[in-house]
Structure 1
Amino acid sequence: FAVLDEEHEKPTDATTRLERTVRRSVEVLAEQLPYVTLLLRVRGNSEVEQRALARRRDFDHRVADLVAEAAAEGGVRDDIDPGLISKLLFGTVNSLIEWYRPSGALPVGTVSDALATILFDGLRAPVKVGDGG
C-alpha cells in the first residue's frame, strides 16, 4: 500500500504513477521476498489470512482505479476492463516470487525495467521506419 500511497501524492499523470507503482512493487517484492511470498500464499483459512486477503483485494481495487484514471487520460487502453488489467499487471509482478532471487545474476533494476517495458510498451519489436511494415 505504501507504494500506491507514495505515487498518489505525486503531481503527475496517472499512467506515470501506474508505471512507477509497478516498478516500485517489483523492488519491494525483491527487498521483502520471504514476506511477500508468504503473503501471496495465504488462502483465507484463518482470521489473519482473511484480513490479508481483504487487503490484497483493496490493493487490486486501488490499482484498478488508477488504471481507469490512466485510461480516461488516454495513457493506457480503455477497451479492457481496469480490474482485469490490474489483475494481469500484478499477477505478472507477483509471479516473480516463483523464480526471482535477489542474490542471483539479474539485478532487480533489470527485471523491473524489462517488466515495465513489456507491460507498458509491448513485446513486439518497434516497426522501423522504411521497413515497409
Structure 2
Amino acid sequence: MTAAEDAPVALGRPRTRRARGEAGARRPVYDAASLLEVAVAEFNARGYDATSMEDLSRAAGITKSSFYHHVSGKEDLLRAALQRALDGLFAVLEERHARTGRPVDRLRYIVRRQVEVLQAELPYVTLLLRVRGNTETERWALDRRRTFDAAIADLVREASAAGQVRGDVEPSVAAKLLSGTVNSIVEWYRPGRPGAEALPEDVVRSVFEGVLPRE
C-alpha cells in the first residue's frame, strides 16, 4: 500500500454553522466535515450499500448539487469515516504505555484505550466494524483491521510466552476474545448512561480476570 493510498481524506473536524435563507429564515450551511457526520449516521442507520446520495442530501437538508460541492461521492465519505476510526486505533499502538513494559501490562493498556477510542468515536468505529468488503474502500479498511488485530495477537503471544496469561488458553483464542469483547460494545453502549466513565476499566477488569494465571 502506498503512502498516497493510506493518506487520510482531508475533511477536517466536524463543524456546522448557519446562514440566513429566504425571508430571513435560518438554514443549515455545511462543510465537508459536518457532512461526514451526517453521512456516518445514515450509513449506520441504513447500511452503506442501501444509502444513496439522495438519502444523504435529504438528511442534511441540502440539494445533491450542494452535497457534491463538498465531496466527490459516497465512497469518499466512507473512506474519510473509516480513516478516522482507524487513525484512532492505530494511534493507541504508538503510545508509550503500549510500547514499553511487560507484555500483559501493555495489553491491558491497549484494551483500555481501545474502549476509550470507541467511546470517543462511536459512530465511526461502529461503521468500521460493520464493513463487509463490498467496495475497494471497505477491503482497504478490512486489511487495516487485520493488521491491528495481528498486533494484538502478537502481544498476547508475548504475554503467554512470559507466563503472564493463562497457559491453558490458546493465545489466538485469547486474542479473539479480547477483540470480540471490545468490538461488541458498539452494539449496546450508549453515551451518557450511568457507568460510561468507568467502562474502560470495567472492561479491562472483566476480560483479564479470564486470562490471568490462576493462583
TM-score by length of 1: 0.84
Q: Which has the higher strand share?
A: 2
Alignment of 1:33-112 (within 5 A): 33-108=122-197, 110-112=198-200
> What are the Cα deviations for residues 77-106 of structure 1, in whole angstroms up to 9, with x where unaligned?
233332221111011011110111122222
Further displaced range: 58-67 or 82-91: 82-91
RMSD: 1.6
- Structure 1 portions without partners, runs of 5+: 123-133
TM-score (norm 2): 0.53
Question: Which structure ranks higher in relative contact order (CA pairs < 8 Å, sequence separation ≥ 6)?
Answer: 1
Deviations 1:50-83 (A, max 9, x none): 0111111111111010000011111112333322
User: What stretches of structure 2 of length at least 5 have no aligned partner?
Assistant: 1-89, 211-215
Amino acid paired to 1:73: A
- Look up the match of 2:69: none
* Alpha-carbon separation, structure 2, partners of 1:17 and 1:40: 23
- Between the aligned partners of 1:101 and 1:82, the Cα distance in structure 2 is 31
Question: Whose Rg is larger?
Answer: 2
Structure 2 counterpart SS, 1:77: coil
Asked if the contact 2:98/2:110 (under 8 Å) is kept, the reply is: no
